[in-house]
Amino acid sequence: MALFCAAVGRRFSLDLYGIRTNGVTVIHSSFTATSGARLPLYRHYSSPKSRLGIGLQIVSRLQGANAKYELFLQRYFPRFYVLYHTFTKGIQLLFQDAKEVTVIRTRMLNNSVEVQDLPYRDMEKLRQFRRDMIKAIPLLLISIPPFANYLVFVLMYLFPRQLLIRHFWTPQQQTEFQGLNHSHRAQHHWAVLKGLESAGSHVKDGRLKISLLDLCNKVQSGVHPNISDIQAIRGLFSGAPLSIKRINANQMRQLCPLFFLTPRLPTPMIGTRLNSHAIELLQLDRALSRHGLHQLDDSELRQACYVRGLDSGSLSINQCREWLSQWLQFSSHLKESEVSLLVHSMVLLSANYPKPSHH
C-alpha cells in the first residue's frame, strides 16, 4: 500500500509504504521538506491476536525455564530445593488467603455485618491472617529489593520458627514448631497458677476464696479439674482483684505467652491487648457453638484446641473433640466482662489434660 499527500503553498510530501507479514504491519514513511532533508520514520503495529500469541509464548518459555531451574535444584541441591519449593508455595498460599480475606471484608461491608456475627470459619480466617501479616511484614519488606529472595532463603534456613509464618513452614516444621511454641507457653503455667493463688488470698468472700484456692491446689497437684469447679468461681473474675484490668502487672505478663504476645510493653497496653484477644476468643467460641463442633475436620479441630491452650499435637482426635466440647460448655455461659476467667482457663483446663479427674 502506498499513500501520497501533497500540501499546497509549501513543498511538502509524505510517502507511506506498508508491508504486512506474520500479522505485523510495518509502515515506512518518508518526509520531504523545502530544506531537502529526508527523514525516514518507522512504526510497528501488531494486532491483538498477535500480541496475545507473543504473550503466551513468553509465559510458556518462562514456565519452561522455571521447571528446568527447579529440576536442577532438586537434583544437585535437594535441601535448597525444599526451601525454594516451600517459599514459592508459601507465596501462593499467602495470596490465596489475602484473596479470601478481601472477599470476607467486602461481604461484611456490603451486608453491614459485624465481626462477631461472622460464620466461624470466616472469623477464624480473619484472626489468623491478621496475626500472620503482623509477623510477615518485616520479611516481606526484606524481600522487596532485587535478588533479596536469596537473603530470605538464608533467613528461612537459620530462623524459620522466629521469622516465618506457617505458610513458609514444611509440614514437619509445622508439627515441630507448634510443639515448641506450646512448650514455651507451658513454662508459664506454674507462674500463672501461683499468681492466681496469690490473688485468691485477697478475696473477701470466704466461700469463693476456698473454692479458688482448692482449684489452684488441684491443678498444681496434677489433677484435671471439672467444669463445675471453674464455674463455681466465675463471679470472681468480673471485678477486683481478678478481672483483666484489675490483676497485677506481673500476672498480666505471665498471661501474655498464652496468646504468644510479648510481655515487654507498658502495663496499660498489655492489659488492653489481653482484653482484646480474650474477647476475640470468646466471640470465636460463640461462632463455633453456632457452627457446630461436628462440622470441623481433624485439622480445624486440632487448631481450635491449640489456640485455646492445649497441646493438641500430642493427643488423639477423640481427646481433642472431648476437650473442646468441655471448653465450649464452659465458655458459652461467660460474659465479656468475665473474659479473665477464659484466659486463666487456658491454663486450668489444659495443664493436666488428659489426666483423669480426681474427686
> From residue 287, how far is each of 25, 123, 192 by CA, in Å?
62, 8, 28
**Would the pLDDT of 33 be above 60?**
no
Q: Check residue 251 and give its pLDDT.
A: 95
pLDDT tens-digit map of 331-356: 988 999 999 999 999 999 999 998 65
Using alpha carbons only, give the angle 304, 310, 311 rounded to the nearest 5 degrees.
105
Any idea which of 24-28, 145-149, 160-164, 258-262 has the lowest mean pLDDT? 24-28
> From residue 101, how far is each of 105, 123, 125, 130, 232 by CA, in Å?
6, 10, 7, 10, 40
Q: Could you tell me if 122 and 104 are in contact, meaning their C-beta atoms sit under 8 angstroms apart?
A: yes
The alpha carbon of 38 is separated from its chain's Cα centroid by a whole number of angstroms, namely: 65
User: Mean pLDDT throughout 92-98?
Assistant: 92
Q: Check residue 201 and give its pLDDT.
A: 87
**Would the pLDDT of 57 be above 50?**
yes
Exposure string (b/e) for 92-103, b if CB count within 10 Å is 16 or more?
A: eebeebeeebee
Percent of the chain with pLDDT over 90: 56
Q: Could you tell me if 3 and 15 are in contact, meaning their C-beta atoms sit under 8 angstroms apart?
A: yes
Radius of gyration of the chain (CA): 32
**Would the pLDDT of 59 be above 80?**
no
Question: Which of 311, 325, 296, 302 has its CA nearest to residue 353?
Answer: 311
| Maximum pairwise Cα distance, the chain | 114
Query: Using CA atoms, how far apart are residues 248 and 192, in angstroms rounded to an integer?
Result: 12
The grid coordinates of residue 17 equal 509504504
| DSSP-H helix ranges across 143-235 | 149-158, 160-163, 171-186, 189-200, 206-220, 227-231
Q: Could you tell me if 199 and 241 are in contact, meaning their C-beta atoms sit under 8 angstroms apart?
A: yes
Exposure string (b/e) for 184-196, b if CB count within 10 Å is 16 or more?
A: ebbebbebbbebb
Q: What is the mean pLDDT of the chain?
A: 83
**Would the pLDDT of 18 be above 70?**
no
Q: Check residue 115 and give its pLDDT.
A: 94
pTM of the prediction? 0.77
Q: Check residue 90 and give its pLDDT.
A: 87
Any idea which of 56-60, 120-124, 142-146, 232-236 has the lowest mean pLDDT? 56-60
Quick one: angle between helices 149-158 and 78-111, nearest 10?
100
Query: Using CA atoms, how far apart are residues 1 and 17, in angstroms rounded to an integer?
Result: 6
Query: Using CA atoms, how far apart are residues 322 and 315, in angstroms rounded to an integer?
Result: 11
Neighbouring C-beta atoms of residue 53, cutoff 10 Å: 14
* Dihedral sign of CA atoms 129, 132, 134, 136 in order: negative
Q: Check residue 355 and give its pLDDT.
A: 66
What is the bridge-based pairing of β-strands 24-32 and 2-6? unpaired
> From residue 52, how far is each of 47, 48, 60, 61, 205 by CA, in Å?
9, 6, 12, 14, 79
pLDDT tens-digit map of 187-218: 999 999 999 999 988 898 999 999 999 999 99
